[in-house]
Amino acid sequence: MTPTSTPPSAGPLPPPPPPRARRHGTVRGRFAPSPTGALHFGSLLAAFGSWLAARGAGGEWWIRIEDVDAAREVPGAAAMQLRTLAAFGLVHDGPVGYQSRRGHLYAAALARLLDAGLAFECHCSRSDVADAGGVHRSCRPGARRPDPAVRLRVTDGSRVAFDDAVHGRIAQDVDREVGDFVLRRADGWWAYQLAVVVDDADQGITDVVRGADLLDSTPRQLLLQHALGLPRPRYLHLPLVLDDDGHKLSKSSASLPVDAADPLPALRAAWHALGQDPHRLPASASLAATLAAAVRGFDAGRIPRGPLAATAVHNALAMRDA
């Protein structure tokens, strides 16, 4: 289904820049962690799942560090995450991308949207938006601020639908459920929605495999892709892993780092959490042999929707290996 149509007042956009070169028909996936700490089991699951999907299709797997929000970044976290991925044998293709070095690409995309009338400066405060039920549909009359945000203009009737490889058909009325969404924040930082759309297109990503917490963001990204004339990748959203209190591990005090010195137990647990056949992995083998067997045996059709309890994953694996 095609997302929203262009507003009548908007002029034509110039063509977008070409994506990074790749062989025709080649699958290109990616893993895009935020450098807010060490990799925990939930982030390993996302990395392993996206790596398996790309390698299982004979494709490439890229890494992008989503460090666009400097206030949340932990010094040294990105380098530590890259070392951990390497220790787990999850070797990437292409150069590692850093959002903090790609501001010129976001600025160019935003300028195209503003020039075409598809985005606008918003002087509303957070309380203004909250008073409107959290969904921005129009600016408060007379509101002025020295540091306005910039939002995408979401037209009425902007219903967006897509097919997710795990969750099936997903549809969202973006105008009624989300409203005009932020592309550049009032504090000057780039919004995630703009950065991820520009990055995926620039890097030639064909398959986005990530956690199900971003399922709700995907319609916004599709709408923005359509506005910018960018290609639509395929999507697969992996199950979230929750702690005993139902919190996502990245927001949990129980999110212990995975052990880079002993990667096989965590990889086997991730294989189990992805719903894969345990008999496809050798009972005792090297890291390289285990990963090769995982690529051969991976079946995306077995991935559960989730969410998954971290304790249940651990206990089930312990019982199987007992």
Does 34 belong to an annotated binding site? yes
Q: Rounded to the nearest 10 degrees, what angle do helices 310-321 and 263-273 cross at?
A: 110
CB under 8 Å to 256, separation ≥6 — which residues?
Answer: 40, 41
Cβ atoms < 10 Å from Cβ of 256: 12
User: In sequence order, what E strands does the chain have?
Assistant: 28-31, 60-65, 97-98, 119-122, 149-152, 159-164, 168-173, 182-184, 207-211, 234-238, 241-242, 308-309
Is 248 marked as binding a ligand?
no
- Which member of 72, 126, 145, 251 is catalytic? 251
Question: Nearest-CA neighbor of 42 among 258, 253, 294?
Answer: 258
Tokens 């995309």: give the residue.
Answer: 109
**Amino acid occupying residue 280:** R
Assign 178 to helix, strand or coil.
coil
Classify strands 149-152 and 182-184 as parallel, antiparallel or unpaired: antiparallel
Cα separation, 204 vs 222, in Å, equals 15
Tell which residue, 237, 229, 238, has the closest CA to residue 197: 229
CA gap 139, 131 in Å, rounded: 12
Residue 131 identity: D
User: What tokens does 262 get?
Assistant: 């002993």
73 is in an annotated binding site: no
Whether 210 has a binding-site annotation, put simply, is yes
- What is the spatial distance between Cα 175 and Cα 133, in angstroms, rounded to a whole number? 13
Q: How many other CB atoms are there within 10 angstroms of residue 294's CB atom? A: 24
User: Is 251 designated active site?
Assistant: yes
The answer to whether 32 is annotated as binding is yes
Q: Are 208 and 233 in contact (CB under 8 A)?
A: yes
CB 65 within 8 A of CB 78: yes
251 annotated binding-site participant = yes
Q: Is 88 annotated as a binding residue?
A: no
Residue list for the binding site: 30-34, 66, 192, 210, 251
Residue list for the binding site for ATP: 251
Name the residues annotated as catalytic.
251
Residue list for the binding site for L-glutamate: 30-34, 66, 192, 210
